[in-house]
Structure 1
Amino acid sequence: MAILKVIEVLANSSESWEDATQKAVTQASKSVKNIRSVYVNEQSATVKDGKVDDFRVNVKITFEVK
């Protein structure tokens, strides 16, 4: 039986929600090992001059505790 832990991470990107998600995983993997999955809990964006300026995600990252 594996022991799994979930952390919540906020990230942003000027490119896309997918890029923001990747940035969250990349940053988390610097201190957390054995990441198993990422769940996008919430997406939002800011708007500037009628265009999307910043994509934001709230993700839950699941990893195995050894």
Structure 2
Amino acid sequence: MAVAKVIEVNASSEKSVEDAVRHGLKKTSETVKGIKGVWVNEIKAVTNDTGDITEWRVNLRITFVVS
């Protein structure tokens, strides 16, 4: 029987939502092994005075198997 754990991670990117997710997952995988999936829980955009998006932020729920 396997046991899984879920952690929440926040990540950001100036390029895109997908880049923010990739960055968060890659950074987490440096210390967490056995990652099985990621769920994008929340997406936010930071804007400037002219209405341009300057940064994408994501809240991720990452699932991994506990040995």
Please state whether the residue corresponding to 1:21 is helix, strand or coil: helix
Q: Which 4+ residue blocks in structure 1 deviate beyond 3 angstroms?
A: none
**Two-structure CA RMSD over aligned residues (Å):** 0.6
Q: TM-score, normalised by structure 1?
A: 0.96
Matched, 1:8 2:1: no
- Partner amino acid, structure 1, of 2:62: I
Name the stretch that deviates more: 5-14 or 44-53.
Answer: 44-53
Paired residues, number: 66
CA-CA distance at 1:35 after TM superposition? 0.3
CA-CA distance at 1:23 after TM superposition? 0.6
Q: TM-score, normalised by structure 2?
A: 0.95
Unaligned runs of 5+ in 1: none
Mapping for residues 16-27 of structure 1, pairs under 5 Å: 16-27=16-27
Tell me the alpha carbon deviations over residues 2-21 of structure 1, each in whole angstroms, 9 at most, x when there is no partner: 11000000000001111100
Percent of matched pairs sharing the same residue: 45
CA-CA distance at 1:50 after TM superposition? 1.8
Unaligned runs of 5+ in 2: none
